[in-house]
Chain A
């Protein structure tokens, strides 16, 4: 029990599907063995990446749009309390009802009671990261309420009793034959002769879901944007399943993270240029729906919105990591990430995979949360994600900061120094003195002996073993840089008497490259 001192608790942690159940390093090792997954992923991420580059280069003002997008989001975070209240007032004035949820448990309970009030036991659902984050489907299922995913990829994942592995193309890890097998087994009226032709597969899903849409009384959605000035919510999609859910049922329940607010109507004109191009590499997604409360006989009569914290205020309190909340879930960062491309989304363990997942999950749960502390290390820090991000989230910088936080946290709980501590101590001892370093470098040839014929060391004894358990390191060079430098100096001195100072200054380095 905590004692209430009149100060609100800042650190309310996120819960739900935000946790890795296993360290990234070991999950990644297993996923790497799945060659089918890697081939599918490679094809998909490279295709989307190329499409994205094409449509982005069409816009002469892409960088200006990014800059505005980034600053608008910064402004949203700085003014969040005021904007949330403005949104609530506008949304409520148009007949909508707002519910606030501190965490996943509260949000799930609110949605459940809203559904129960309608007496329904089956609801249709638009793909939504927020509801996936809080584990809504599983929660509803445990209470006997069937939430049917209507996005084709989500349906494939749901019918396959699987987990999504990408935020944009959740079934990216399944190929057409696998999908056909799932449909044949799980869709009641699917033809036994169903082929793996994508057109036929999509038609099967259409027939199956249309009946559900026409009869559904309750729908659940997420929201891409909530506009404070007008109280408008927006959902961006492709297939029309969103439009079906958002307009046909009597009751619509939306779950939205509190960070999704945009201040003004005109801001939507910025984000609707940034999002589709970054996301699917299209100039615009096929369908977007915008609604501002109730609209007479056009659309649902009961409009609910659950405003979700679930660790967002905790992330907001992290000044260095806060900008992770700017994320518009476009997935551009995962499509360019060399680590994601090889490990796939499941290795990250939570709803949010890829570079953004590596920072967002630990920010929402806290770095000390079990296993999530390994996520900031799931990166090569190559910076491709930062370049791709339409709202300029500096993911590499946040990764480094979170690593530092992790090291701090580990320090405070550990009694005995770790191997890493010993190594670092040793390195600082060696690097702080030229003589010591020189002495140590004499050991380099021994390193070459350790390496095999291919001049790579894949196993190191003792304290350095942790490093080589997940990567090979090249063997050390024959002689140290310091030795080479000294020799070069010696050589130049002996040449010096014959050459002028000037030609020496323009002399190119003579060292051979790529031995």
Chain B
């Protein structure tokens, strides 16, 4: 099929049609995954490097691709942590690297709405008509984060990152309930984006720079990328399986 002008021989086709069934094993072996030192605290930007002992040549650095002002990033970090906090089950959004995930996504297709229909004219539609903003997600996040800080200063004479948890929640709740005026988008819509992006960062494959060390998956009991469950799916017992990242295929 590589050359659409040329018919494909059956042998060529079978060659590309996947792995012969039966040659597979279920269960998981820990692939060499690059993990992060999950850090609590306020997720200061800057490089966090880890070496994976199984792959000495492997080295990754987390950094900011979208935000230019670390303060914005810190507001985002604290907001995501309130949505998905650290607790006795395990790390929260900051420990999982969620703010980096969101930053990186905002710098790419997600942030620039590459696959969304963005032609005008723009009108405020009914709720049933969905996204009708002329703003991209990147613009919505930037505005929303600035407003969070503004609200904090207005209400508490402090920056958002200096607030108590309960005070942050009060502001976030007002966003959620559409009580905050935003330009070109509703605050409720921004909050939905923020909440959804937080969950995405907590549970997406670590290749996207969130879900550090697969801790999100470990908390949830999700084994990530496993080749097959054919050997265990009839088992009555709940299967605890060491998770694997899609990146384990490259080692």
A and B part of one assembly: no
Report B's interface with A, CB cutoff 8 A: none
Report A's interface with B, CB cutoff 8 A: none
